[in-house]
Amino acid sequence: MPFSKLGLSTPILHALAELNYHTPSPIQQQAIPLVLAGKNVMGAAQTGTGKTASFVLPILEKISQQGEDLRGKRVRALILTPTRELAQQVEKNIVDYAKHLEISSLAMVGGVDSEPQKQALIYGIDILVATPGRLLDMMYQRAVHFDQLETLVLDEADRMLDMGFIDDITKIVDRLPGNRQSLLFSATLSKQVKALAKTTINDAVEISVSNHIDNAPKIDQCLITVDKDKKSALLSHLIKENDWQQALIFIQTKHGSAKLVSQLEKRGIAAEAFHSGRSQASRNKLLENFKAGEVKFVVATGIASRGIDIDELSRVVNYDLPDQADDYVHRIGRTGRAGAQGEAISFVSRDDFRNLCAIESRIGHLIERKEVEGFVPTKEVPVSILNYKPKSKKGNGHYKNRKS
Ligand code: AMP
341-379: pLDDT as tens digits: 789 999 999 999 999 999 988 887 889 999 999 999 999
Q: Are residues 179 and 245 in the same domain?
A: no
85 in ligand 1 pocket by Cβ < 6 Å?
A: no
Q: Are residues 199 and 228 in the same domain?
A: no
Answer whether residue 336 is part of any domain. Answer: yes
User: What pLDDT does residue 394 have?
Assistant: 41
CB–CB of 127/148 below 8 Å?
A: no
Answer whether residue 168 is part of any domain. Answer: yes
Q: Are residues 304 and 203 in the same domain?
A: no
185 in ligand 1 pocket by Cβ < 6 Å?
A: no
Which residue has its alpha carbon closest to ligand 1 atom 20?
Answer: 21
Q: Are residues 224 and 194 in the same domain?
A: no
Tell me how far the alpha carbon of residue 241 lies from the centroid of ligand 1, in angstroms.
Answer: 33
Out of 164, 185, 211, pick the residue that ends a domain. Answer: 211
Question: Can you give the length of the chain in residues?
Answer: 404
Q: Are residues 148 and 104 in the same domain?
A: yes
Q: Are residues 77 and 123 in the same domain?
A: yes
Q: Are residues 260 and 365 in the same domain?
A: yes
Most ligand 1 atoms within 8 A of CB, residue of 3, 4, 19 to mutate:
19
Q: Any idea what the Cα angle at residue 369 is, between residues 366 and 372, rounded to 5°?
A: 170
| 312 Rama sector, left if φ>0, alpha if ψ -120 to 50, beta otherwise | left
pLDDT over threshold 50, residue 131? yes
81 in ligand 1 pocket by Cβ < 6 Å?
A: no
Q: Are residues 218 and 171 in the same domain?
A: no
Out of 168, 196, 211, pick the residue that ends a domain. Answer: 211
| Confidence band for 334, pLDDT divided at 50, 70 and 90 | confident
d(CA 335, CA 163) in angstroms, rounded, equals: 23
Tell me how far the alpha carbon of residue 54 lies from the centroid of ligand 1, in angstroms.
Answer: 9
Answer whether residue 400 is part of any domain. Answer: no
| Confidence band for 212, pLDDT divided at 50, 70 and 90 | very low
CATH number at residue 357: 3.40.50.300
d(CA 382, CA 396) in angstroms, rounded, equals: 23
Out of 161, 196, 211, pick the residue that ends a domain. Answer: 211
Most ligand 1 atoms within 8 A of CB, residue of 6, 8, 18, 21 to mutate:
21
CA distances from 45 to 181, 216, 222, 324, 344 (A): 19, 10, 23, 18, 20
Tell me how far the alpha carbon of residue 129 lies from the centroid of ligand 1, in angstroms.
Answer: 18
Q: Are residues 232 and 194 in the same domain?
A: no
Tell me how far the alpha carbon of residue 242 lies from the centroid of ligand 1, in angstroms.
Answer: 29
d(CA 307, CA 131) in angstroms, rounded, equals: 12
User: What pLDDT does residue 338 have?
Assistant: 58
What DSSP string describes 227-263?
-GGGHHHHHHHHHHHTT---EEEE-S-HHHHHHHHHH
User: What pLDDT does residue 58 have?
Assistant: 98
Answer whether residue 403 is part of any domain. Answer: no
Residue 397 phi/psi, 5-degree rounding, is: -80, 30
Q: b/e string for 169-183 if b means 16 or more Cβ within 10 A?
A: beebbeebeeebbbb
| Confidence band for 384, pLDDT divided at 50, 70 and 90 | confident
d(CA 96, CA 128) in angstroms, rounded, equals: 15
50 in ligand 1 pocket by Cβ < 6 Å?
A: yes
User: What pLDDT does residue 244 have?
Assistant: 94
404 in ligand 1 pocket by Cβ < 6 Å?
A: no
Burial class (CB in 10 A: 0-12, 13-18, 19+), 259: middle
Tell me how far the alpha carbon of residue 310 lies from the centroid of ligand 1, in angstroms.
Answer: 11
User: What pLDDT does residue 396 have?
Assistant: 38
Tell me how far the alpha carbon of residue 36 lies from the centroid of ligand 1, in angstroms.
Answer: 19
d(CA 397, CA 357) in angstroms, rounded, equals: 19
Q: Which residue has the higher pLDDT, 378 or 402?
A: 378
Looking from the CA of residue 52, the nearest atom of ligand 1 is 3
51 in ligand 1 pocket by Cβ < 6 Å?
A: yes
Distance between first and last Cα of the chain: 39
d(CA 158, CA 268) in angstroms, rounded, equals: 40
pLDDT over threshold 50, residue 402? no
DSSP symbol at 382: P
Answer whether residue 17 is part of any domain. Answer: yes
| Confidence band for 255, pLDDT divided at 50, 70 and 90 | very high
User: What pLDDT does residue 403 have?
Assistant: 39
Q: Are residues 203 and 281 in the same domain?
A: no
Answer whether residue 392 is part of any domain. Answer: no
Worst-scoring range by mean pLDDT, 26-40, 101-115, 145-159, 372-386? 372-386
d(CA 352, CA 381) in angstroms, rounded, equals: 8
Most confidently predicted of 40-49, 66-75, 225-234:
225-234
- Beta strands, E only, 68-124: 75-80, 105-108
Average pLDDT of the chain to the nearest whole number: 89
Q: What is the pTM of this model?
A: 0.65
- Pinpoint the alpha helices (H) of 122-230: 132-140, 157-162, 166-174, 191-200
CB–CB of 238/372 below 8 Å?
A: yes
24 in ligand 1 pocket by Cβ < 6 Å?
A: yes
Q: Are residues 176 and 226 in the same domain?
A: no
User: What pLDDT does residue 210 have?
Assistant: 59
- Calculate mean pLDDT across residues 211-220: 55
43 in ligand 1 pocket by Cβ < 6 Å?
A: no
Q: Are residues 253 and 163 in the same domain?
A: no
**Domain interval for residue 281:** 214-370
Which residue has its alpha carbon closest to ligand 1 atom 7?
Answer: 338
CA distances from 84 to 68, 111, 175, 232, 402 (A): 30, 9, 22, 29, 11
Looking from the CA of residue 49, the nearest atom of ligand 1 is 2
What residue type is assigned to position 260 of the chain? L
95 in ligand 1 pocket by Cβ < 6 Å?
A: no
Answer whether residue 39 is part of any domain. Answer: yes
The torsion of the CA quartet 70, 76, 82, 86, rounded to 10 degrees, works out to -80
User: What pLDDT does residue 101 have?
Assistant: 96
Tell me how far the alpha carbon of residue 344 lies from the centroid of ligand 1, in angstroms.
Answer: 20
User: What pLDDT does residue 302 have?
Assistant: 79
Tell me the Cα Rg of the chain: 21
Most ligand 1 atoms within 8 A of CB, residue of 129, 310, 337 to mutate:
337
| Confidence band for 258, pLDDT divided at 50, 70 and 90 | very high
Answer whether residue 94 is part of any domain. Answer: yes
pLDDT digits 0-9 by tens, 262-300: 999 999 999 999 988 888 888 889 988 998 889 999 999
Tell me how far the alpha carbon of residue 48 lies from the centroid of ligand 1, in angstroms.
Answer: 6
Residue 252 phi/psi, 5-degree rounding, is: -75, -40
- Tally the domains of the chain: 2
